[in-house]
């Protein structure tokens, strides 16, 4: 989290978890968790999500509710990492 924004992890986690419903169920599964170790190289919040198809993922990426959360992420996060992969 950015300097002075460490208290925003709960707000961010809540916003991420709400995406499953607010994006019309595009996510088949959604899991949000907080870091428990707080190591120097750790991230504070994680979102693991499952989509039925790459098309659903692409639709989600540009969904207005997702874009709102991206704006929040830019506001409070020092850096981010993401990986999109097939299962």
Phi, psi of 49 (to 5 degrees): -140, 155
What confidence score (pLDDT) does residue 87 get?
83
Residue 67 domain flag: yes
Q: Is residue 87 part of a domain?
A: no
Q: pTM of this prediction?
A: 0.93
How far is Cα 27 from Cα 37, in angstroms, rounded to an integer? 28
Whole-number pLDDT of residue 9: 96
CA 16 to centroid of chain Cα atoms? 5
Residue 15 lies in a domain: yes
Domain extent for 17:
6-76
**pLDDT single digits (tens) 26-56:** 999 999 999 999 999 999 999 999 999 999 9
Task: Give the model confidence (pLDDT) of 57-77 as tens digits.
Answer: 999 999 999 999 999 999 999
Quote the number of domains for the chain.
Answer: 1
User: Would residue 31 count as lying in a domain?
Assistant: yes
């Amino acid at each position: 989290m950015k300097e002075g924004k460490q208290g925003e992890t709960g707000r961010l986690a809540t916003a991420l978890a709400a995406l499953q419903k607010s994006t019309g169920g595009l996510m088949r599964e959604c899991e949000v968790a907080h870091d428990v170790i707080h190591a120097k190289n750790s991230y504070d919040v994680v979102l693991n999500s499952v989509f039925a198809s790459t098309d659903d993922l692409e639709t989600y990426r540009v969904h207005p509710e997702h874009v709102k959360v991206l704006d929040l992420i830019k506001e409070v996060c020092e850096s981010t990492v993401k990986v999109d992969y097939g299962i």
